[in-house]
Amino acid sequence: MTFLNKTLRARGTWIVLAATLACLGLILYAWRLPPFHTGTESTENAYVHGMVTIVAPKVDGYVAEVRVQDYMAVKAGEVLVKLDDRSYRQKLEQARSSLAAQEANLANTVQARRAREAAIGSTQAQIAGAAAQLANARAQLQRAQADMRRATPLAQDGSLSQRERDQTEAALHQAEASVKQAEASAQQAQAGKAVATQDLQTVVVNRDAVQAGVAAARAAVKLAEIDLDNTQIRAPRNGQVGEVGVKLGQYVTPGTQLMAVVPAQVWIVANFKEAQTARMAPGQTVRFHVDALADAELTGHVERLSPATGSEFSVIKQDNATGNFTKIPQRLSVRIAVDPDQAMAQRLRPGMSVVVDVDTRAEAHPGSTENHS
């Protein structure tokens, strides 16, 4: 009986010891501690991402036509939605009319400048004629003065009659009047030239203003053309349309979300605990399972690691000011490129959940860098 009790006691001890070792082994395995550390880091906090582009109008107006339906494939530049463009066409015509008026004004200034330049040429001819008349009048005055100097002593000694002397004196006064008239004509011609020059300067200055008006009118035409073209909302890139939220007849404004275009290119963003990324590097092999594809396994490679943890990008920063502190492992995002030529990869969609395994024992592929895209 005593032997039996000892045997049962020893067996119970071994059972407890085996259970303790099993629990310890499970803990070591769960925490990936030696001897169960394989160098493969895993996370379920991973999702498929894509460059989802929101399509929105650049001008306001009523929707006249919706050319796509939910989930249709589209090509870059394809018209998705058309707005009522009648008012924009009229604005374009108005801008073109304003441009034509400004160009006509510019042509008028060119003609006016030519007329002012011709007027300056005419005044220069008048100045030359007045100068010649003034020279002639002064010559006539000198001759009349000489005649008067000769006639005065002759009249005193009786050699010249008083009547002839009076005629000589009258000729002298007439020559003096002719000189004054020629001088006035020369001054008038000079004044006419100054006025014509000022008119020309005014035309030149006005032409610069008209040229600025033409440039502004051309810019207005270009802007009206851009607005008219923006009434046709086009696909920004190749891809597949999401849910079409815009309806026929709806009034939309710039920034109104009409739909989204999702391109075919996707990638994985996996959030690892910071300790898991100690040996991660671009180029390492990745295997991931996709929940939506019946856990199908696909492959990829590490493309680059986030420059900061997720908490650094959060709007509300963690700030423990109470004095109590609990260490919480942070998450670091890792971007993973999907390897090409995988049939199942064509079914990946942004937002899908995946389970990622990264082999941190593998070395980075040659040429892999943090800036690889």
49 located within any domain: yes
Residue 15 within any structural domain of the chain: no
Residues 109 and 219 in one domain: yes
Please enumerate in sequence order all residues whose Cβ is within 8 A of that of 195, keeping only pairs 6 or more positions apart, or say none: none
Answer whether 288's CB lies under 8 Å from 45's CB. Answer: no
Indicate whether 267 and 161 sit together in one domain: no
How far, CA to CA in Å, does 60 sit from each of 92, 230, 300? 16, 10, 44
Position 10 in a domain:
no
> CA torsion angle for 268, 272, 275, 278 (degrees, to 10)?
0
Whether residues 298 and 242 share a domain: the answer is: no
DSSP 364: P
Q: Total structural domains in the chain?
A: 3
Domain contains 33: no
Is the per-residue pLDDT at 116 higher than 80?
no
- Judgement on whether residues 117 and 157 belong to the same structural domain of the protein: yes
Average confidence (pLDDT) over 114-135: 65
**pLDDT digits 0-9 by tens, 239-269:** 999 999 999 999 999 989 999 999 989 999 9
Return the higher-pLDDT residue of 171 and 116.
171
**Inside any domain, residue 20:** no
pLDDT of residue 354: 94
Note whether 91 and 225 are same-domain residues: yes
On whether the pTM is more than 0.75, the answer is no
Are 337 and 303 contacting, i.e. CB atoms less than 8 angstroms apart?
A: yes
Question: What is the extent of the structural domain holding 298?
Answer: 39-55+258-320+327-373
Same domain? 198 vs 300: no
At 94, list the tokens.
Answer: 């108005």
| Same domain, yes or no: 100 and 176 | yes
pLDDT of 115 > 70? The answer is: no
Q: Supply the CATH number for residue 77's domain.
A: 2.40.50.100
Do 276 and 237 share a structural domain?
no
Our CA dihedral for 62, 66, 70, 75, rounded to 10 degrees, sits at: -120
Are residues 135 and 141 in contact, defined by beta-carbon separation less than 8 angstroms?
A: no
**Are 207 and 295 found together in one domain?**
no
In the predicted model, what is the mean pLDDT of the chain? 80
pLDDT band at 366 (very low <50, low <70, confident <90, very high): very low
CATH number at residue 343: 2.40.30.170
In a domain, 18, yes or no: no
Cβ neighbours of 291 (radius 10 Å):
12
If asked whether residues 125 and 244 sit together in one domain, one would say: no
Query: What was the pLDDT predicted at 368?
Result: 46
Instruction: Identify the residue with better confidence: 66 or 167.
Output: 66
Q: What is the pLDDT of residues 224-237, one digit of tens each?
A: 999 999 999 999 99
- On whether residue 26 sits in a domain, the answer given is no
The answer to whether residue 167 is domain-embedded is yes
The pair of structure tokens assigned to 177 is 């009047």
| CATH assignment at residue 91 | 1.10.287
